[in-house]
Structure formats: structure tokens, C-alpha cells
Amino acid sequence: MREVQIFAFSTSSSNATIPITLRTVTKRMGVNNSVASFTVPFGATINMDGTAIMQGTATIFIANIYGIDLGVTEYLTVILMSVLASVGTAGVPGVGLIMLSMVFAQVGLPIEGIGLILGVDRILDMLRTAVNVGGDAAVTAIVAKSEGKMDLAIYNDPNAGAKDVFDGHIDEDNEREFSKVMNDGIMGSEYDDVDRRH
């Protein structure tokens, strides 16, 4: 999961990480593509567990800063709103703060309190996205195992799928041949047609 976690951390987007998560769960964890192609995009949309954790923690933090006591009803409201907000949150960077304002409004906290966590939210967003994609992969593995759609030989092989990772090496002969085909073949014929028409 290291490649997925690093990519999710750097982009802060569960949706942008979907192709890498799909490749990892199928090639490195042995999950059948029929399961992964459903659970991974579905999880990137509604399985925002990192966002739910952040919203609950941020609400309690801001309540303590402002000296507002939250009762049992408010805590239950925070739990419910955090779960609903995390389900309805888009998998793009920075959207957690917008949902956090909704949670604040429900429990009577001043929305200006978001300004106190705004400065560190990018780092928090990176961390919670890494948690989100980790949860997506874990649930995908659990579902695949329960449905009998998981190859345990691949799952237990620490080197499975490692050769599929792009190592940054580009073969110069292939690059030269591709460039020649593009310039002489396709591009050349298009330019010839244009020249004949003019």
C-alpha cells in the first residue's frame, strides 16, 4: 500500500488515487477485478473515514477553545453529522472544511472557528486522504475474501505486482521508433493532405 498512500498523501484526493488503488488491490493484493472495480470507486465516494474522524475531532477541539460544553445530544449529533458529511463529501482536496461548517452549525458552534484549523488543514487533508484510501483497500480485501474472489497466493507474495511499477526507464530505441512513426507516418500524412487541399 505504500505507493497508494504516498500518492494519496501528495494529491489529497481519493478520486485521483482510484487508478493506483485499483492496480494495487488487483495486482499486489490478489483481489479479483470484478470486486475491485466496484468497491474502490464506491469507497472513494462514500468511505471517507478519515474525514469523519477529523470532523469529530475538530468539533470537540473548537468547542474546547470557545469554552462551549457539549452534552450527550450534541455528541450524538456530531457523530451522526460527521458520518453523513463524510458520505456526502466529494473526494477532492479541501472539501472537508465546507462539510465541517455544516457540523458546526448543527451543534451551535461559531463557524469562525474553522479559521483556527484552516492553516493546518492542508496537512490534515493529506493525512485523512491516506487514511481514506487505506480504508478503501481494506474493505475491498474483506469483501473479496468473503466472496471467494481473492487470490491468497498473490496476497501472501511480498513481490507480487512489484514488476508492474514504472521504474522511470525509457528505452531509447523504442522512443526513437515511436517518434519516427509519429512524425513520418501519421503526422506526415495529415500534413500532406493539408498541403494538397491548399
Number of H helices and number of E strands within the chain? 11, 0
Whether the predicted pLDDT of 187 surpasses 70: no
pLDDT recorded at residue 194: 47
Residues 123-129: what's their mean pLDDT?
86
pLDDT recorded at residue 104: 87
Q: Cα angle vertex 184, ends 178, 177, to 5°?
A: 20
pLDDT band at 79 (very low <50, low <70, confident <90, very high): confident
Whether the predicted pLDDT of 85 surpasses 90: no
pLDDT recorded at residue 170: 64
Task: Map residue 94 onto helix, strand or coil.
Answer: coil
pLDDT recorded at residue 33: 92
CATH class of the structural domain 1-167: mainly alpha
| 32 touches 149 (CB < 8 A) | yes
- The verdict on pTM exceeding 0.85 is no
| Residues above pLDDT 90, as percent of the chain | 26
The values of phi and psi at residue 123, to 5°, are -65, -40
User: What average pLDDT does the chain have?
Assistant: 82
State whether the Cα torsion 49-51-54-60 is positive or negative: negative
pLDDT band at 141 (very low <50, low <70, confident <90, very high): very high
Low-confidence winner among 9-13, 56-60, 94-98, 120-124 (lowest mean pLDDT):
94-98
Single out the residue of 40, 34, 36, 27 nearest to residue 157, CA to CA: 27
Whether the predicted pLDDT of 165 surpasses 60: no
pLDDT recorded at residue 121: 84
pLDDT band at 169 (very low <50, low <70, confident <90, very high): low
N- to C-terminal Cα separation, the chain: 56
Q: What is the signed CA dihedral for 54, 55, 61, 66, rounded to 10 degrees? A: 160
